[in-house]
Structure 1
């Protein structure tokens, strides 16, 4: 039997291209939107890569299938398949990309404890594809209070416990504002993840670009959210996540402008100007949520575009991961919209698609 080398991207990228061929097209989404009734919708889902999970959800509850959980299970299976197909540097870089889900899962546990959710309610929304196993997360979800969650993380030597321990006094001082803990987590995550990317190889640089881009988008969103709020320079600086393109001085300068139009026009990096102008238009027409959504769409575009840079690089994996995540988001929007009897036009307007480049595999 031929040995498969898991230390390069030839084998895994061939598998990922096969997985990418199962991504749903815009036309198929329109068929889902136009499906007349639950049976027609489920019949269409049975034609997709989600059929097994959708059918299992239906068997468990024919009246109200938990499609949200079905989508999560499919996403987990897809990302684990990629991780299992790599070794060496590719595995290290893929693990770095997937570590974002560790932070997402910890936030889900903290939010659940903050909102008095049950352990099972918390567990149902977890995406255990990072270094934290489901068993560990279930133990965290089973704790009584946020302090107990943090203490358990520390006892299990989970590295994300340290920033939470350090931020906990401020959390209690600020009326248990969960944003304090979440910001501490984010700062630690990006410092740790970017710090692990040693060297200047093409694959390392692709992963670094995605992480730095996320930091930039987060900082832009923060500037827009705090405009007009009276904060001293130290408080403003504390809200900035280091690691992005904006220096501390540039962040403070933009905050002092106090106006979203000026923040966009004065943003120092010209690469962001087009997306910021589009996000500003969304904000002026709708609201702040629309502004943030446009920033998220830009990261999806960037991730998807990585697929076209080098067919023998991690770009193929990055492209699929961001497209798959966007597909799941679209399906959640669609399925919830159908369940709420939202007009088809409203559902369509909330969906986001990345147009495939000419010559890109289906």
Structure 2
């Protein structure tokens, strides 16, 4: 599967093209050719490159689902269900931002259990309340949890984070419950879910540091199922200081990554932690493809590397559109390959 991904050398060629026209010419040699050409045909004056990249990723992931059966297919469904959560969040955020249904639907990644026709119906509603009612009416699995969280959402000045946290907790708990078997493939998927939970909880600790919250409020912010026990999570929050949270984080590997993020913190603020946490998840996903070349790890590796490829392509395309120096664009790219990594 990794043979379908672009190499680091190829990305260097893309960055070194003189303009968007040159970039498009090089990308015509890749699997993105059809999607980019369609984007140009539909809107020659300002092609929607983001949509073109997204359509390619959707097609790639649907091919994975079509080519698997039995237990591998079930595990792939679990992996793809992360996009159900992303799609619902995107719709809710779109409603808050007064986006049109068309603008929202262009961002959908319908590779999970929630199909495009259902997403279209939900996105077509006017208000958050209407969207939640539609989700429940369609008997989508997130309807009940959103209904249960709605009153709290209203009480907290319609803070969308309340609804998003409720969805996340349900999503992670539901999938952890489905991954109890001792099978090696199940364990790899479980490890990725746990890694995501850990990264989310770390992000929460960083963002809420120094806030005067009681233990019950802090505990409610934690997503269960990760490697941080509740007592550890509470203790880290009580430290209240970013330096101490980093230095006293219990897992050495994660502590090292947080130290790297903190070194960039004063330059790019909290974004430094988001960047390193996302990259760590990509590293772990990519590493799965080396665990068992005949198992689900190959699919996990491909999925996370494909997402990273998309992110790198967006950086290059936007950089070209903005006229950014090549050195700055290269500095923002991130690659994982074997034991060698660069950014």
Tell me if both proteins adopt one fold, taking TM over 0.5 as the criterion: yes
Matched, 1:90 2:51: no
Taking the aligned partners of 2:296 and 2:180, their CA distance within structure 1 comes to 15
Match of 1:105 among 70, 79, 87: 87
Spell out the pairing of 1:210-359 with structure 2 (5 A cutoff).
Answer: 210-357=192-339
How far apart are the structure 2 equivalents of 1:333 and 1:164? 34
Matched, 1:23 2:5: yes
Task: Tell me the TM-score normalised to structure 2 length.
Answer: 0.97
Gaps of 5+ in 2: none
Moved over 2 A (4+): 355-358
How far off is 1:271 after superposition? 3.4
Q: CA separation in 2, counterparts of 1:356 and 1:269?
A: 23
CA distance in 1, matches of 2:123, 2:323: 33
Q: 1:191 aligns with which of 173, 191, 211?
A: 173
Deviations for 1:119-157, whole angstroms, at most 9, x for unmatched residues? 000000110000111111011110000100000111111
Q: Where does residue 176 of structure 1 map in the other structure? A: 158
Counterpart among 60, 65, 83 of residue 47 in structure 2: 65
Question: Which of 7, 27, 49 pairs up with 1:45?
Answer: 27
Question: Which stretch shows the higher mean deviation, 236-245 or 349-358?
Answer: 349-358
Relative to the length of structure 1, the TM-score reads 0.92
Aligned-partner SS, 2:278: helix
Deviations 1:181-204 (A, max 9, x none): 101110010001111113111000
CA distance, structure 2, for counterparts of residue 166 and residue 247 of structure 1: 25
Report the secondary structure of 1:144's partner residue: coil
The offset of 1:356, in angstroms, is 3.1
Partners of 2:274 and 2:339 lie apart in 1 by 25
Aligned to 2:184: 202
Aligned partner of 1:125 in structure 2 is: 107
Instruction: Tell me if the contact between 2:195 and 2:281 (Cα under 8 Å) persists in the aligned partners.
Output: yes
- SS where residue 337 of structure 2 aligns? coil
Deviates more, 1:318-327 or 1:31-40: 31-40
Following superposition, the deviation at residue 37 of structure 1 comes to 1.9
Contact 1:330/1:352 (<8 A) preserved:
yes
Instruction: Quote the offset at 1:357 in angstroms.
Output: 4.6
Shift of 1:343: 2.0
* Partner-residue secondary structure (3-state), 1:354: strand
Using the alignment, how far apart are the partners of 1:231 and 1:197 within structure 2? 33
1:22, distance to aligned residue in structure 2 (A)? 2.1
Q: How far is 1:172 from its partner?
A: 0.8
Q: Is the 8 A contact 2:20 2:317 kept in 1?
A: no
1:152 aligns with 2:134: yes
Highest RCO, 1 vs 2 (Cα 8 Å, sep ≥ 6): 1
Q: What corresponds to 1:11 in structure 2?
A: none
Superposition RMSD in Å:
1.1
Aligned length: 340
Q: Which moved more, 1:273-282 or 1:249-258?
A: 273-282
